[in-house]
């Protein structure tokens, strides 16, 4: 009787594991399939791509790469450079200033402190498209288009990043540490830079990655603000290739450019993945 019950329990466990692993495999497939598709397609010619979908790589990867690299309508190294400048500056500034703001509202007590906190959070509810119209008008009015810093500066105000940083501080920073630093003779700015920021390293790393990826992939604002070929970022260049006229249209070239575009992101993700996991789980377990 007991043996029977044990066998049933084992079978139940096996079934539940099959179901769980099945779901996980399906989700993993959903995540990775499109990457795989992109890599496959980047190795196929335009004609092969027109012929339909296949799982086997083609032999045109090098040709697609050279076609994209030598395309007269785009300049990949310049695009990469522009994207990199915008992405890295945005990531640095967003993380630093959001951490600074979060530190300010967490550590200091001042009148309307909570109102300030709520106001910043309320900004999260406003879709970026709403403010974009006014921003574009402003940029055109003051002849600020085709300037990369115009894409960088607004990214400093990132309420979602602020919220994340604030939550992180609440979970990890005892105020006694700030007080200890004050007694040690440190001024407020040094306390933030030398004591608090190093403690926030995992959170800053996570937000830098997210911000970098967000800026790197951003198409909406650069498309509206950058007309000069020398100022275009990679996503705008991909769009330029896609919108080429029928005679020049080469889907293989577009896929290859997309592969080139995601490579830096993949490299950064691989290098910093440890920090991402550490940052996401921090605060959940008492250290």
- Would you tell me which residues interact with another protein (CB under 8 A)? 109, 111, 174-177, 179-187, 190, 195, 198-199, 201, 287
Q: Which is nearer to another protein, 125 or 183 (CB)?
A: 183
The SS3 call for residue 276 is helix
Question: What is the distance between the alpha carbons of residues 10 and 4, in angstroms, rounded to a whole number?
Answer: 10
Closest distance to another protein from the beta carbon of 274 (Å): 16
Q: What contacts 24+ positions apart, CB below 8 Å, involve 47-56?
A: 48/252, 49/251, 49/252, 49/255, 50/251
Q: Which is nearer to another protein, 152 or 191 (CB)?
A: 191
Question: What is the distance between the alpha carbons of residues 279 and 143, in angstroms, rounded to a whole number?
Answer: 40
Contact 93, 152 (CB under 8 A): yes
Closest distance to another protein from the beta carbon of 194 (Å): 8
Tally Cβ neighbours within 10 Å of residue 37: 14
Tell which residue, 241, 231, 186, has the closest CA to residue 86.
Answer: 231
Closest distance to another protein from the beta carbon of 286 (Å): 12
Closest distance to another protein from the beta carbon of 280 (Å): 19
Contact 260, 68 (CB under 8 A): yes
For residue 181 the two structure tokens come to: 């630093």
Q: Which is nearer to another protein, 181 or 256 (CB)?
A: 181
Q: Which is nearer to another protein, 139 or 195 (CB)?
A: 195
Tell which residue, 38, 39, 60, has the closest CA to residue 48.
Answer: 60
Q: Which is nearer to another protein, 184 or 280 (CB)?
A: 184
Closest distance to another protein from the beta carbon of 179 (Å): 5
Closest distance to another protein from the beta carbon of 184 (Å): 4
Q: Which is nearer to another protein, 153 or 179 (CB)?
A: 179
Q: Is the dihedral of CA 217, 148, 260, 255 positive or negative?
A: positive
């Amino acid at each position: 009787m007991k043996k029977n019950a044990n066998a049933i329990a084992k079978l139940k466990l096996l079934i539940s594991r099959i179901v769980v692993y099945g779901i996980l495999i399906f989700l993993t497939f959903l995540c990775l399939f499109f990457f795989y598709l992109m890599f496959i397609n980047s190795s196929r010619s335009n004609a092969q791509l027109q012929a339909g979908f296949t799982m086997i790589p083609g032999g045109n990867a090098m040709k697609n790469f050279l076609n994209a690299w030598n395309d007269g309508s785009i300049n990949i190294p310049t695009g990469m450079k522009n994207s990199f400048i915008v992405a890295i500056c945005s990531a640095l500034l967003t993380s630093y200033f959001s951490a600074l703001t979060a530190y300010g509202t967490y550590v200091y007590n001042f009148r309307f402190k909570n109102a300030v906190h709520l106001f910043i959070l309320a900004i999260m509810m406003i879709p970026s498209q709403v403010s974009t119209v006014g921003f574009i008008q402003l940029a055109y009015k003051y002849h600020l288009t085709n300037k990369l810093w115009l894409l960088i500066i607004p990214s400093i105000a990132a309420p979602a990043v602020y919220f994340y940083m604030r939550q992180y501080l609440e979970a990890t920073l005892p105020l006694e540490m700030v007080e200890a630093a004050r007694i040690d003779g440190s001024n407020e700015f040094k306390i933030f830079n030398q004591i608090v920021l190093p403690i926030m390293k995992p959170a800053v790393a996570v937000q830098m990655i997210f911000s970098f990826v967000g800026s790197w992939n951003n198409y909406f604002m650069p498309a509206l603000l950058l007309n000069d070929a020398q100022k275009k970022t990679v996503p705008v260049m991909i769009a330029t290739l896609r919108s080429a006229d029928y005679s020049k249209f080469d889907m293989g070239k577009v896929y290859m450019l997309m592969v080139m575009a995601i490579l830096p992101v993949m490299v950064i993700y691989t290098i910093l993945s440890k920090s991402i996991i550490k940052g996401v789980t921090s605060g959940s377990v008492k250290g």
